[in-house]
Amino acid sequence: MSAALTAESLGLDSPSAMVQTDVLIIGAGLAGLSTALALPKSLNITILSKAALEICSSHYAQGGIAASLDKEDSVADHIADTLIAGAGLCEASNTSRILSAGQQAVQWLCEQGVPFTQIPQQDNAKPVTKLQTELQTTDLHLTREGGHGCRRVAHADDATGRHIMEALTIKAQNAANITILPYHEALSLLTNSANPNNQCQGAQVFDHNNQRQLTFYSHAVVLASGGLGQLFKRASAPNVCVGDGVMMAWQAGCRLANLEFIQFHPTGLAVADSSFLISEALRGEGGHLTCPQTGARFMLEIDERAELAPRDIVARAIAEQISNNGLGYVHLDVSHLPEQFLREHFPQIYQTLFNLGIDMTREPIPVAPTAHYSCGGVVTDANGVTDLIGLYAAGEVAYTGLHGANRLASNSLLECVVVGRNIAADLPRYLKALENLNHVTSYDHSNLLATAIWTAPTLKDIQTIKLPSSPTILFNSSHCDNDIVTNDHAGKIVTELKVLMTSYMGITRNAESLEQILIQIQQWQQWLEKIRLNQSSMGTLDGTITADELTLFQLARQLQLATLIIQSAYQRYESRGGHYRQDYPHLASTPRTSVIVPLSKLREADKTGSKEGGIDWLL
580-587: average pLDDT: 96
28 vs 550, more confident: 28
Give the separation between CA 357 and CA 97, rounded to whole angstroms. Answer: 45
For residue 451, the model assigns a pLDDT of: 67
Position 207 pLDDT exceeds 70: yes
Q: What are phi and psi of 203, to 5 degrees?
A: -160, 150
Position 97 pLDDT exceeds 70: yes
Give the separation between CA 571 and CA 502, rounded to whole angstroms. Answer: 19
Range 287-296 burial, b when 16+ CB lie within 10 A, else e: bbbbeeeeee
Report the half-sphere exposure of 392 (CA within 13 A, side-chain side): 31
For residue 612, the model assigns a pLDDT of: 45
Give the separation between CA 352 and CA 334, rounded to whole angstroms. Answer: 15
Q: What share of the chain is helix, strand, coil (3-state, %, to 5)?
A: 40, 15, 45
Range 211-246 burial, b when 16+ CB lie within 10 A, else e: ebbbebebbbbbbbbbbbbbbbbbbbbbebbbbbbb
Burial of 520 (0-12, 13-18, 19+ CB in 10 A): middle
For residue 552, the model assigns a pLDDT of: 86
Q: Which of 63-72, 568-577, 580-589, 610-619 is predicted with the least confidence, judged by mean pLDDT?
A: 610-619
Q: Note whether 48 and 25 are within 8 A (CB).
A: yes
Which DSSP string corresponds to 367-429?
Answer: EEEEEEEES-EEE--TT-B-SSBTEEE-GGGEE-SSSTTSPPTTHHHHHHHHHHHHHHHHHHH
Cβ atoms within 10 Å of 96's Cβ, excluding its own: 19
43 vs 2, more confident: 43
Q: Which of 245, 243, 183 is nearest to 210 (CA)?
A: 183
For residue 444, the model assigns a pLDDT of: 52
For residue 58, the model assigns a pLDDT of: 84
Which of the four pLDDT bands, split at 50, 70 and 90, describes residue 448?
A: low
Give the separation between CA 427 and CA 243, rounded to whole angstroms. Answer: 24
Distance of CA 429 to the CA centre of its chain: 26
For residue 45, the model assigns a pLDDT of: 98
* Percent of the chain clearing pLDDT 70 (strictly above): 84
Q: Which of 110-119, 230-239, 542-551 is predicted with the least confidence, judged by mean pLDDT?
A: 542-551
Distance of CA 261 to the CA centre of its chain: 12
Q: pLDDT of 244-261, one tens digit each?
A: 999 999 999 999 999 999
Position 562 pLDDT exceeds 90: yes
Q: Note whether 331 and 291 are within 8 A (CB).
A: yes
Q: Which of 228, 63, 221 is nearest to 156 (CA)?
A: 63
148-176: average pLDDT: 94
For residue 182, the model assigns a pLDDT of: 97
Cβ atoms within 10 Å of 338's Cβ, excluding its own: 11
Q: pLDDT of 395-443, one tens digit each?
A: 999 999 999 999 998 999 999 999 999 999 999 999 998 887 766 655 5
How do strand 65-66 and strand 153-154 relate by DSSP bridges?
A: antiparallel
Q: Which of 175-184, 316-325, 563-572 is predicted with the least confidence, judged by mean pLDDT?
A: 316-325
Q: Note whether 561 and 247 are within 8 A (CB).
A: yes
Position 472 pLDDT exceeds 80: no
Position 6 pLDDT exceeds 50: no
- The secondary element (H helix, E strand) that includes residue 594 is strand 593-596
Give the separation between CA 144 and CA 268, rounded to whole angstroms. Answer: 18
Q: Alpha-carbon dihedral of residues 440, 443, 445, 446, nearest 10 degrees?
A: 60
Q: Note whether 569 and 260 are within 8 A (CB).
A: yes
Cβ atoms within 10 Å of 174's Cβ, excluding its own: 10
Q: Which of 7, 34, 13, 35 is nearest to 391 (CA)?
A: 35
| Single-letter amino acid, residue 566 | I
Q: Which of 31-35, 540-544, 570-574 is predicted with the least confidence, judged by mean pLDDT?
A: 540-544
Position 12 pLDDT exceeds 80: no
| Single-letter amino acid, residue 131 | L
Which of the four pLDDT bands, split at 50, 70 and 90, describes residue 540?
A: very low
299 vs 435, more confident: 299
Give the separation between CA 398 and CA 257, rounded to whole angstroms. Answer: 9
Of 97, 144, 255, 311, catalytic: 311
- DSSP class of residue 130 equals S
* Percent of the chain clearing pLDDT 90 (strictly above): 67
For residue 312, the model assigns a pLDDT of: 87
Which DSSP string corresponds to 481-537?
Answer: -SPPP-HHHHHHHHHHHHHHHHHHSSSSB-HHHHHHHHHHHHHHHHHHHHTT--HHH
Q: Which of 564, 599, 465 is nearest to 262 (CA)?
A: 564
SS3 at position 193: coil
Position 136 pLDDT exceeds 60: no
Active site residue 311: yes
For residue 60, the model assigns a pLDDT of: 84
Average pLDDT of the chain, as a whole number = 86
SS3 at position 581: strand
**What pTM was estimated for this model as a whole?**
0.88
Q: pLDDT of 325-376, one tens digit each?
A: 999 999 999 999 999 999 988 999 999 999 999 999 999 999 999 999 999 9
32-41: average pLDDT: 98
Q: Which of 143-147, 172-176, 305-309, 498-502 is predicted with the least confidence, judged by mean pLDDT?
A: 143-147
Position 534 pLDDT exceeds 70: no
Q: pLDDT of 487-524, one tens digit each?
A: 678 889 999 999 999 999 999 999 999 999 999 998 89
Which of the four pLDDT bands, split at 50, 70 and 90, describes residue 216?
A: very high
Position 389 pLDDT exceeds 50: yes
For residue 238, the model assigns a pLDDT of: 87
Burial of 532 (0-12, 13-18, 19+ CB in 10 A): exposed
Which of the four pLDDT bands, split at 50, 70 and 90, describes residue 477?
A: very low
443 vs 384, more confident: 384
